[in-house]
Structure 1
Amino acid sequence: MEYLASFWGLLTGYLLPFLIVLTLVVFVHEMGHYLVGRWSGIRVLTFSVGFGPELLGFNDRHGTRWKLSAIPLGGYVKFFGDENAASVPDHAAVNSMSDAERAGAFPAAALWRRAATVAAGPIANFILAIAIFAVFFAVNGRMIADPVVADVTAGSAAETAGVQPGDRIVALDGTAVRTFEDVRRYVSPRPEVPILMTVDRDGETFDLALTPARTAITDGFGNTMEVGQIGVVTDQAAGSFRVEHYSPVAAVGQGALESWFIVERTFSYIGNIIVGREKADQLGGPIRVAQVSGQMATLGWAALIQLAAVLSVSIGLLNLMPVPMLDGGHLVFYGIEAVLGRPLGEAATEWAYRFGLMAVLSLMLFATWNDVTMLIG
């Protein structure tokens, strides 16, 4: 009975939230490919959420097989003329097609139609994220505070630089800040990176140089991460905490800015890994996504749906990586085709896809290793 209770807790606490979040993001991604492909006159053979054996499915009136598959770690749309789910062209099959068949084959479609169909998946992910954030901003607004310092931590970078209570932070490295959250978001991904802070003190504006300290913080779920901190805080008296409300149009703009922040934060983290400022242990795979999904589920559906928005941006970016097997790799091929006036040769394409497969598998193994290390650590 104890084992049954443990399994039920694992299922409802982690697996179910994970499946809800991932299925939503994957479905929207693949729907982007499907809709633009159909609009482009390309015949769709299969729309699958998940990989591996089919669990259930049906055929629509256009001949597309819609199915739910056993391994819920992605999905795919297979077009007529594709060799496999990665949209590797089946050149032999295309060459043997009649003119009528070629008209509906993906490899035979005009270059711009193929590019639009491939790009539609990641674009759909970004649209989903913007829409989710926009709904939350339109309904709930956003709590903001003015970027005014209420207190300075003793021994901090801010104290060393000469920041004083009452200072209003107006810019960081020349980038204007409007809220205290803008300050946190700018400083957090820049541990040990010098920053030029512009402050307003009693009507006088001047610059202060400081370097955020690398600080390990632990969230309410026990997850530890390293961020940059300068040692300033605000409060109601200094920051005038308030809820900022948005019209539907303004909410969409805020949703786009929130999605762009995730993009910037991702590139900043990857750049810091490359130059050695950050460790790659924050790169997570399905185990970590499942863990975070379960944690967000304890906070309610709103938090879980917002996690879906963050994951949607991440999956959109991942798929735009210029790696064969991914959407970005296909777009690179189409760019080369546009320049050369012809597709790459079959041999070069085949070797590129082999490299892409190895790169994707290596990334998955590394992320899974990070997940396992996190669990046993």
Structure 2
Amino acid sequence: MESVIHFLYNLFYFLIVLSVLIFFHELGHFLAARRLGVKVLKFSLGFGPRVIGRTVGETEYLISALPLGGYVKLFGEEPEKGEDAPALSPEDRARSFSHAPVWKRILIVAAGPVFNMLLAYLIFTGSLSIGVPMYVPDFDSLMPVIETVIEKSPAEAAGFKPGDRIVSIDDRKISTWAQMTETIYTSAGKSLTIVVERDHQNMTLTVTPAPKTVDTEEGQKTVGQIGIGKSPHGAQIVAANPLEALVKGFQATWQWTYLTVEGLVRLVQGKLSMDNIGGPILIGQMSGQAASQGFGGLLFLIAILSITLGVMNILPIPVLDGGHLLFFVIEAVLGRPLSIRKREIAQQIGLALLLLLMALAFYNDIIRLFVKPG
């Protein structure tokens, strides 16, 4: 029964977080289209069959059955094909997305990711304006690189040294400091084979984490420790007043965006494991954990995920906003759009890549649920 309640708790906050992210993203597309004179047919939170909805003016506002996304449907978004396509009146052409100048289409599509960044900025600025500091780590602080080794600790006895980078533990690739500590914490009294990188060479060390009793929310718990440490790196951002918060909020948004982009680059370069990719189950768990820290924790998570969503959507992958922007840039350079056939092929490839990424994220979620580290 307790596990069911925990699941429903995570699900509730997952839906709240996802709804806020989707609403702001689609709101960007919606407002830009309205402002630039393009007719908006539908604004939906969710995909699939309609659950509830209402038409106001010329737009139908919907909540749909599958809450894993959303969309804004624009008039003329998919141009009619063939000779039998009905001719549009001058009034309809003026309000059709596909007949709008390319610069208008670029602004409408880009507005979604821009609004994700705006949401993060508003949350950071609002928090700073009431005196809540923002900590933005640098990427090195997330990496499994040892900075200190405690004297007479299991790590010192095993031969660990400051500067060692943890590569793997018991043949499991380690990419982050948190991943490493979680594995060590759950391995008290168990011998671990750890590969470290030192002076550009790998070497294998064996260490047994010493058991230590600590207090947790569930009561006392025995965890493993080997006696290594890491100092926090990054920026502690504070604002003396609401006016300064306007500037510092931008600083926090920029630094978290940079951190997100750097993480994606490291994934592509193979410096970060694909194990770090997560899907809806991980987001649900994170939402529940953030909510347990209070309203501020939940807002902070929304800000970070909003930046991630904005960055991911701007990638030049067909079916994402960035893919559409790529098509429009090509159209602006060539003076004509790509053929419908070429766009369809590119979108099919983009959809396949996206489905593979979603499958990997879901697989990682399942592994995290049922396979314990170490």
TM-score range, shorter chain: 0.7 to 0.9
Summarize deviations over 1:87-106 as a string: whole Å, max 9, x none.
xx444597632222111110
| Counterpart residue identity of residue 37, structure 2 | G
| Counterpart residue identity of residue 274, structure 2 | A
Summarize deviations over 1:6-48 as a string: whole Å, max 9, x none.
544422x111101111101100110000001011100000000
- Separation of aligned partners in 2, 1:126 and 1:265: 14
- Secondary structure, in 3 states, of the residue corresponding to 2:128? helix
Other-structure match for 2:7: 10
- Secondary structure, in 3 states, of the residue corresponding to 1:188? helix
| Counterpart residue identity of residue 41, structure 2 | L
| Counterpart residue identity of residue 106, structure 2 | A
Post-superposition offset of 1:315: 0.6
Pick aligned residue for 1:217 from 181, 193, 207: 181
Post-superposition offset of 1:120: 0.4
- Secondary structure, in 3 states, of the residue corresponding to 1:119? helix
- Separation of aligned partners in 2, 1:324 and 1:136: 36
1:299–1:43 distance in 2 versus 1, CA, 3 Å: same
- Separation of aligned partners in 2, 1:318 and 1:277: 19
1:339 equivalent to 2:342? Answer no
1:65 equivalent to 2:60? Answer yes
1:95–1:259 distance in 2 versus 1, CA, 3 Å: farther
1:342–1:291 distance in 2 versus 1, CA, 3 Å: same
1:75 equivalent to 2:75? Answer no
1:1-377 aligned within 5 A: 2=1, 6-11=3-8, 13-61=9-57, 63-83=58-78, 89-91=79-81, 96-142=87-133, 185-191=138-144, 211=163, 213-214=165-166, 215=177, 216-218=180-182, 231-232=230-231, 244-377=238-371
| Counterpart residue identity of residue 185, structure 1 | D
* RMSD of equivalent CA atoms: 2.8
1:244–1:55 distance in 2 versus 1, CA, 3 Å: same
Summarize deviations over 1:270-302 as a string: whole Å, max 9, x none.
222333322111111111101110111111111
Segments of 5+ residues of structure 2 without an aligned counterpart are 148-161, 167-176, 186-215, 219-227
> Are the equivalent residues in 2 in contact too, given 1:283–1:367 (CA < 8 A)?
yes
Post-superposition offset of 1:117: 0.3
- Separation of aligned partners in 2, 1:321 and 1:94: 33
Post-superposition offset of 1:247: 2.2
Other-structure match for 2:197: none
- Separation of aligned partners in 2, 1:94 and 1:315: 36
Other-structure match for 1:170: none
Post-superposition offset of 1:187: 2.5
1:351–1:135 distance in 2 versus 1, CA, 3 Å: same
> Are the equivalent residues in 2 in contact too, given 1:134–1:255 (CA < 8 A)?
yes
Q: Percent identity?
A: 37
> Are the equivalent residues in 1 in contact too, given 2:146–2:229 (CA < 8 A)?
no
Post-superposition offset of 1:112: 0.7
Post-superposition offset of 1:128: 0.4
Summarize deviations over 1:295-353 as a string: whole Å, max 9, x none.
11111111111111111101111110101111000100010001000000111111111
1:231–1:284 distance in 2 versus 1, CA, 3 Å: closer
Other-structure match for 1:226: none
- Separation of aligned partners in 2, 1:250 and 1:357: 43
TM-score, normalisation: structure 1: 0.73
- Separation of aligned partners in 2, 1:245 and 1:98: 55
- Separation of aligned partners in 2, 1:330 and 1:37: 15
Post-superposition offset of 1:82: 2.3
Number of equivalent positions: 301
| Counterpart residue identity of residue 110, structure 2 | A
1:305–1:44 distance in 2 versus 1, CA, 3 Å: same
- Separation of aligned partners in 1, 2:254 and 2:131: 20
- Secondary structure, in 3 states, of the residue corresponding to 2:318? coil
- Secondary structure, in 3 states, of the residue corresponding to 1:323? coil
> Are the equivalent residues in 1 in contact too, given 2:261–2:311 (CA < 8 A)?
no
- Separation of aligned partners in 2, 1:272 and 1:191: 14
> Are the equivalent residues in 1 in contact too, given 2:139–2:259 (CA < 8 A)?
no
> Are the equivalent residues in 1 in contact too, given 2:146–2:230 (CA < 8 A)?
no
Post-superposition offset of 1:362: 1.1
- Separation of aligned partners in 2, 1:281 and 1:125: 25
Other-structure match for 1:205: none
- Separation of aligned partners in 2, 1:189 and 1:302: 22
1:360–1:94 distance in 2 versus 1, CA, 3 Å: farther
> Are the equivalent residues in 2 in contact too, given 1:213–1:230 (CA < 8 A)?
no
- Separation of aligned partners in 2, 1:221 and 1:23: 29
1:67–1:134 distance in 2 versus 1, CA, 3 Å: same
